[in-house]
Structure 1
Amino acid sequence: MRKALVASSLLALLLSGCASNPADRDVSGTWINQVAIDAASQGGPLREALQAYGPNLEWEVNTKASQARYFNGFERPEGKLLGEKSGIWSVDFYGSSTTELKRDGRQLLQAANDNEPEQLFDRPSEPAPEGAPLGASFERALYASYMGGSWTISSGNGAGATVHFQANGQVSGLPGVDQYSLCLAGDCASMSGGYDSVWLQQGGQGNPWIFARSGKQLEIFQAINTSQADEVPSFTPGPRQWLLEKQ
């Protein structure tokens, strides 16, 4: 009987410990908008997916330093973590706005407010290397999912070659290109209107290009600037340079 009571007491203690486990409410660390990545990886337009499930793409929270900051594709605002009440952490962006964060199981929930909708974030499966800028973990996950795999050049220079877009922004098999960077938001998005754009370069020299993704097909077009020399560039699709098919 005594052994049974001891076992019962230990079980109750363990269960109560799990129920009040601070880790269940911990928001520290890096979180990425995996929902937006999954939506984009269905094979449709990139920015449509980011706008539908964003606008924020990555959070970095440091509860010990009372700091939190996020990446939305072009900005990295930093706020002050005010503290936790009933599992909710408030982030003050120095008087301009306040955002509430809380754990929702294994995800981080950003509560809806007057400026933004509710958004969900997950831990990155492969975080960016230490010292990488905020947003790098999201970009690596996006690049691996949206651009990953093997692509065949069906039309254009290098037809028949196999192309690989790496999660770190490197690319092989695409003639005249060794690096790429997808436009997520900001000036590059404004200059390309409603089109998706990508920066392609080799040896440090590059240019913007317009692309269109439809399922397993990826078309890359020359970006034609329709603005005058003294105006902000405005790009529209020109001749198609490549048609890639995912293997």
Structure 2
Amino acid sequence: MTAVPDRASGMRALWSAADYHRIAVRDAYVSELLVRAVDVHPGERVLDVAAGSGNTAIAAARRGADVTATDIVSSALETAVHRAAVDGLDLWMEIADAQHLPFPDRSFHAVLSTFGVIYAPDHQRTADELVRVCRPGGRIGLANWTPTGLVGKLHALMTEAVTAPPAAAKAPCGPATLWGTEGHCRELFGNRVELTTTVRVHELCALTGETQVELLLKYMPPWRGAYNAMPPGQQRAVFDAAVAEFDRANRAQDGTSIAAAEYLEVVATVK
């Protein structure tokens, strides 16, 4: 396996601090929609970047593709490979930084990421890498949280609450949810692709809004660290504000929580 550059060590430590799979597994439907939108075909070489525990990689493998999953967290990739094996699917894994992919130019028919590459600090470098490893005529498919949707509002809430975020969490190019705007994606990819976008709504389900927030604060690595560093009074305020956001997005009428979470589906065909 290719070693991850030292500059990624902070991000690797950050995302290794909690088992993000406990959250990501709830987003599998988003991955199924994405591989269909990108029109992944049997036999195609597919790369899932910042794959985590493999939702999108597995969805592509289920369509008969030859899939490589990359991430900076080795334990997440091991989970992905195990999940694929349970379903009788083959999956290749490679530890890799989304900003420095260890593959030759034009290696893949499709390059995918679901709520993954948006967290890489350097947006432009990441976009350049996605284009570089994709063949002409190949497709880049992304699912990105929007800044105006539920998750975007939660991101903003946590950012405002943290006066000095960890260095690994800082994004010099702006917040992760900028990827959830068509304009930012067009700026990053430029005239190298033909780009289409679709706004979709995912549903985050739990017994209550409080349960939703407890899950995020325990298993969303950047939030877990920031929240645990807060004094008790600030923790209470942040928790209550996050619950209020879930309650506003909740469509359930029976006391449970089914919260609408908007995201941008991006399909870019490389010229």
Structure number with the bigger relative contact order (C-alpha 8 A, sep ≥ 6) is: 2
Structure of larger gyration radius: 1
Between Structure 1 and Structure 2, the one with more strand by share is 1
TM-score range with shorter-chain normalisation? under 0.3
TM-score, length basis structure 2: 0.24
TM-score, length basis structure 1: 0.26
Between Structure 1 and Structure 2, the one with more helix by share is 2
